Structure 1
Amino acid sequence: MKSSVLAAALLSAATLGLAACGDRAAEQPAEAPEGVPGLTITNARMVLAPVEGNPAAVYFDLAYDGDRNVALNRAHVEGAASASLHEYGEWNRQVQMQEMLPLVLTKGDRVSFEPGGKHVMATDVSPELQPGGTTEVTLTVSGGDKTTFEAEIRGPGEER
């Protein structure tokens, strides 16, 4: 008898708890802003390599006017097996390409990802990505916020 009363009490308490959860589910969650607040990308283009199978490069102009500092630390290119942030640096008195450290962005920063400088390297690019088309590029900053933009695809001999 005691166990029947205890079971009924527990069942009542669980029902009230679930009812309270149901009220919360009816509330609309606050929408997160799309993209990284204050981050603007312009002049985006992906240049395919002259030799099939070699990596492609993505270039663009970045402007940051956000209120908090962020660090750009990852990239993804739709249609590529992998993508990474690269730049040129000197090692052993030779200039060479290297993976870029996270890029800290503060309000007012303007950064060009351009030939001979910072760029996104896209490897194992799908043959479906052809000049004249577009692909999506996603940049991720510290904290996980992401901005996605379209990049025009250009052939190897076209203006970079």
Structure 2
Amino acid sequence: MNFARFAGLALLAAALPLAGCTGGNAPSETSADKSETGLEVTDARLVLPAVSGNPGAVYFNVENKGDRNVAIRSASVKGASSAMMHEMAEWDGEMVMGEMGPPMLQPGDKVSFEPGGKHVMAFDLDSSLVAGGKTELTLTIAGGKSVTAEADIKGPGDER
């Protein structure tokens, strides 16, 4: 019985220094750390649907200005219940839209999310999103860091 107590105490004593490595004086991750993705998002805009209740479309340009590969895992839009990255592709002689996998950007790569190509569908838009206003587009990369950009809100007939 004494050996069992000794072994338990020895394990506890060995774990204490390790526990100190995970917290204590180590700097904590802040919201500023989460925006260090290497990505720069420009020309972001949400185009409202012509028919209320339909999803809107978000277009933007993104460039990897960092020094390592980045995969965009997901997108979200403030004021939308959900968002999904889509792209247009030819299937059996017809253009179809479908969910796209995470785009990988090498250092220096630029990708355009534009009408007729890659875009973000924004679903169940809040009534507070009106043409002439602004919202936020957040891109989350593999690993969990994210970058947020301001997006102009455009009406259905506005230039995209």
TM-score scaled by structure 2?
0.81
The answer as to 2:131 corresponding to 1:131 is yes
Give percent identity, aligned residues only: 53
Aligned to 2:5: none
Amino acid across the alignment from 2:135: T
Quick one: which amino acid aligns to residue 125 of structure 1? L
Structure 1 residues 63 and 28, CA, compared in 2 at 3 Å: closer, same or farther? same
Query: 2:153: which partner in 1?
Result: 153
Report the AA paired with residue 90 of structure 2. E
Partner of 1:142: 142
Contact 2:89-2:96 within 8 A present in 1 as well: yes
1:29 counterpart = 2:27:
yes
CA distance in 2, matches of 1:112, 1:52: 27
Deviates more, 1:121-130 or 1:36-45: 36-45
Q: Distance in 1 between matches of 2:53 and 2:29?
A: 41
Could you tell me whether the CA contact under 8 Å between 1:65 and 1:106 is conserved in 2? no
Deviations 1:22-65 (A, max 9, x none): xx64x361555241432101111100011111110011111112
Unaligned runs of 5+ in 1: 1-9
1:81 Cα deviation (Å)? Answer: 1.1
Q: Which residue of structure 1 lines up, in the alignment, with residue 94 of structure 2?
A: 94
Structure 1 ranges of 4+ moved more than 6 A: none
Question: Between Structure 1 and Structure 2, how many residues are aligned?
Answer: 145
Aligned CA-pair RMSD: 2.3
C-alpha deviation, 1:132, in angstroms: 1.1
Query: How do 1:54-65 residues align onto structure 2 when only pairs under 5 Å count?
Result: 54-65=54-65
**Quick check: 1:49–1:156 contact (8 Å CA) kept in 2?**
yes
In the alignment, what sits opposite 1:73? 73
Instruction: Work out the CA distance in 2 between the residues paired with 1:37 and 1:73.
Output: 12
In structure 1, the residue corresponding to 2:128 is in which secondary structure? coil
